[in-house]
Chains A and B, each alone.
Chain A
Amino acid sequence: MVASRLNALLNACLPVVFAIFVMGFVWEVAVAFGEVPQYVLPSPSGIIAAAVQRFPQIADGLWITTFEALAGFAVGSVIGLALACLFLLVPPTRALLLPLVVALNNVPSIAFVPLALLWFGMGPASKIAIAALAVSFAVLLAALEGFSRTEDGQVNLLRSFGANRLAILWRLRLPAAMPSIITGLRIGLARSTIAVIVAEMLGAYKGIGQIVYRATAEMDSLTVWSAILVSSATSLALYGLLVLIDRRLVWWQ
Chain B
Amino acid sequence: MSSPLAGILQLLALLAALALAHRPLGDHLARVYSSGKHYRPERWMYRAIGADPSAGMRWPAYLRAVLAFSAVGVLLLHLLQRAQGALPGSLGFASIDPDQAFNTAVSFVTNTNWQSYYGEQAMGHLVQTGGLAVQNFVSAAVGMAVAVALVRGFTGSRTGELGNFWADLVRGITRVLLPLSVAGALVLVACGVIQNFSGIHAVGQFSGDEQQWNGGAVASQEAIKELGTNGGGYFNANAAHPFENPTPFSNLFEIFLILLIPFSMTRTFGRMAGSLRQGYAVLGAMAVIWLAFTALMMWTEFAGRGPAFEAAGGAMEGKETRFGIAGSSLFAVATTLTSTGAVNSFHSSYTGFGGGITLLGMQLGEIAPGGVGSGLYGMLIMAVVAVFVAGLLVGRTPEYLGKKIGTRQITYAACYLLVTPALVLGFTGLALALPGPAESMTHSGPHGFSEILYAYTSAANNNGSAFAGLNADTPWFNTTTGIAMLLGRFLPMVFVLALAGSLAEQRPVPATAGTLRTDKPLYSGLLVATILIVTGLTYFPALALGPLAEGLAS
> Real complex partners, A and B?
no
